[in-house]
Amino acid sequence: MAHHAHETNTGIDNRKLGFWLFIASESIFFACLLVGYLVYKDGYQPGAGPRDLFNIELTTVSTFVLLMSSLAMVLGVNAAQRNLGRKARRWVLVTALMGLAFLGFQAYEFTHFYHAGLSLSSSVFGTAFYTLTGFHGAHVAVGVIWLLTLLYHGRGAGLTADKADDVEVAGLYWHFVDIVWIVLFTVLYLLEFVQ
C-alpha cells in the first residue's frame, strides 16, 4: 500500500478529513435549499405543477443510472487500492459516463418542463425545483470533470495504488452527490405522488 504523507494526528489523511468537512458544509447547503422548498411548495402556483410535469418512470431510470455509477466508483476505488491501475481507470471512466448520462436525462427534463411552462420565474415551485436540481446537476458536472481529470492523470499505468487516495476522495464526493440525489428524488418526485 502507498505511503500516506498527509496523515493527521488522528491517522486520517488531511485531504480526507478536509473533504469530510467540505461534505458537511455542502450537506447544510442542500438542507437549507430543501427546507426552503418544503416551506414554500404548497403556496400559490400558477401553471403546471409537479403532477402535470413529472415523468416518474424516466426520472427513476436516471436515478438508477446515477446509483449504479456509485457502484462503478466503488469498484474503481477498490481496483486502485489493489494497484490494478488500468481496471481502476476503466471503472472511473464508467462512472464519468454514467454521470454524463444522468446530466443528459436532466437536460432533457429541464427542456421538457420549460416548454410546458415551468421556468425559474414562473412559480415558487419552479424556482425551488430548478434551484435544487440545478445545483445538484452542477455538483454532478463538477464530479464528472474531476473524474475526467483523474483519468488524464492516470493515463499510462492507470490509477495505481499511489493515486488510490486521490481516487478515494473523488469517490467520497461522488457518493455524496448520489446521496443528495436520493433525498431530492424522494422529496421532489416520490412524495409528490404520495400526497
Using CA atoms, how far apart are residues 115 and 111, in angstroms rounded to an integer? 6
Predicted model pTM: 0.89
Residues 74-83: what's their mean pLDDT? 96
Q: What is the pLDDT of residue 1?
A: 45
Query: How far, rounded to the nearest angstrom, does the alpha carbon of residue 155 sit from its chain's CA centroid?
Result: 24
Cell numbers 437549507: residue = 32
Residues 54-83: what's their mean pLDDT? 95
Residues 102-120: what's their mean pLDDT? 93
Q: What is the pLDDT of residue 41?
A: 75
Using CA atoms, how far apart are residues 180 and 176, in angstroms rounded to an integer? 6
Q: How far apart are the first and last CA of the chain?
A: 52
Model confidence band, residue 5 (pLDDT cutoffs 50, 70, 90): low
